[in-house]
Chains A and B, each alone.
Chain A
Amino acid sequence: MDQIPQLIVSGITSGCIYAIVAIGFSIIYGGTQVINFAQGEFVMVGAMVAAVLLAKFSLALAFPVAVAAGCLVGVLVALCVLIPLKRASVITLIIMTVGASILLRGLAQLFWGESAIPVPPFTGVRINGIVEDRTIHIYHAVVGVQSLWVVGITALLVLAMHLFFKYTLIGQAMRASSMNPTGARLVGISPRKMVVMSFMLAAALGAIAGVTVSPVFYAKCNMGTALGLKGFCAAVLGGLGNFGGGIIAGLLLGIVEALAGVLPSPWSDYKDAVAFVILLIVLLVKPQGLLVRKKAEA
Chain B
Amino acid sequence: MNGGKVEMIGRRGVAVFLFIAALVAWSLAPAACAAKKVAGKPYVIGAIFSVTGDNAPLGVPERETVEMLVKNLNKSGGINGHPVKVEYYDDEGKPEQAVQACQELISNKDCLAIIGPTLTGPSLAIANMCNQAKMPLLSCAASVKIVQPVKNYVFKTAQTDSQAVSKLIDYCKAHKLKNIGFINDSNAFGASGREQWLKLSKSAGIKTVDMESFGSADTDVTSQLTKIRSAKPQAVVCWGTNPGPAIVAKNMRRLGMKQPLLMSHGVSNMEFIKLAQSAAEGVVFPSGKIIVASQIPASDPQKKVLQEYAAQYQQAYKKPAIHFGGHAWDAFQLVVDAVKKVGPNRAKICGNIASRKHFVGIDGVFNFSATDHNGLDKNAFALVQIKNGKWVLAK
Contacts and interface: CB of A to CB of B under 8 A. Distances in A.
Q: Which of B1, B9, B230, B242 has the most CB of A within 10 A?
A: B9
A84 B12 contact: yes
Contact of A3 (B27, B219, B226): B226
B5 A87 contact: yes
B223 A114 contact: no
A96 B16 contact: yes
A26 to B, nearest CB: 24
B213 A266 contact: yes
A106 B28 contact: yes
B129 to A, nearest CB: 27
B215 interface: yes
B13 A88 contact: yes
A118 interface: yes
Contact of B214 (A80, A106, A116, A269): A269
B170 interface: no
Contact of A106 (B27, B255, B271, B389): B27
Interface stretch (A159-167, A169-177, A257-265): A257-265
B177 interface: no
Contacts of B23: 103, 106-107
A95 B213 CA distance: 35
Contacts of A80: 16
A261 B219 contact: no
A228 to B, nearest CB: 13
Interface string B219-248: 111111011001000000000001100110
A6 B9 CA distance: 52
A260 B15 CA distance: 44
Interface string B254-291: 11100000000000000100110110000000000000
B212 interface: yes
Interface stretch (A126-134, A191-199, A202-210, A281-289): A126-134
B8 interface: yes
Given A144-B254, A272-B215, A7 B9 contact: no
A194 to B, nearest CB: 22
A265 B389 contact: no
Contacts of B388: 128
A201 B220 CA distance: 28
A2 interface: yes
B231 to A, nearest CB: 11
Contacts of A156: none
B54 A261 contact: no
Contacts of B1: 89
Contacts of B277: 118, 127, 130, 132
Interface in A232-263: 258-262
A142 B254 contact: yes
Interface in B364-393: 388-389
Given A106-B23, A135-B254, A265 B213 contact: yes
A147 B223 CA distance: 16
Contacts of B223: 3, 6-7, 10, 258-262, 268, 271
A49 to B, nearest CB: 18
Contacts of A106: 23-24, 27-28
Nearest to B256: A142
B186 interface: yes
A84 B217 CA distance: 35
A127 B279 CA distance: 11
Interface residues of A, number: 56
Contact of A99 (B17, B221, B243, B274): B17
Contacts of A144: 254
B213 A2 contact: no
Contacts of B224: 261-262, 265, 268
Contacts of B215: 269-272
B278 A127 contact: yes
A266 B54 CA distance: 22
Interface string B1-33: 100010011001100110011011001100000
B218 interface: yes
A95 B186 CA distance: 32
Nearest to A9: B222
A122 interface: no
Contact of A114 (B56, B246, B247, B389): B56
A285 B340 CA distance: 68
Contact of A272 (B12, B21, B217, B227): B217
B97 interface: no
A280 interface: no
A141 to B, nearest CB: 9
Interface in A46-94: 80, 83-84, 87-89, 92
Nearest to B271: A115
Interface string A91-128: 01001100110110011011001111010000000011
B280 to A, nearest CB: 10
A179 interface: no
A279 interface: no
Given A142-B255, A268-B213, A269-B186, A261 B9 contact: no
B211 interface: yes
Given A103-B20, A144-B254, A7 B278 contact: no
B57 interface: yes
B211 A265 contact: yes
Interface string B153-192: 0000000000000000000000000000000001000000
B53 interface: yes
Given A217-B219, A266-B186, A272-B218, 17 more contacts: A3-B226, A84-B12, A88-B13, A96-B20, A99-B16, A100-B20, A107-B23, A109-B52, A114-B52, A116-B275, A118-B274, A218-B243, A262-B227, A268-B213, A269-B215, A271-B218, A271-B223
Interface of B: 1, 5, 8-9, 12-13, 16-17, 20-21, 23-24, 27-28, 52-54, 56-57, 186, 211-215, 217-224, 226-227, 230, 242-243, 246-247, 254-256, 271, 274-275, 277-278, 388-389
6 contacts: A2-B230, A7-B223, A9-B222, A107-B27, A268-B224, A270-B215
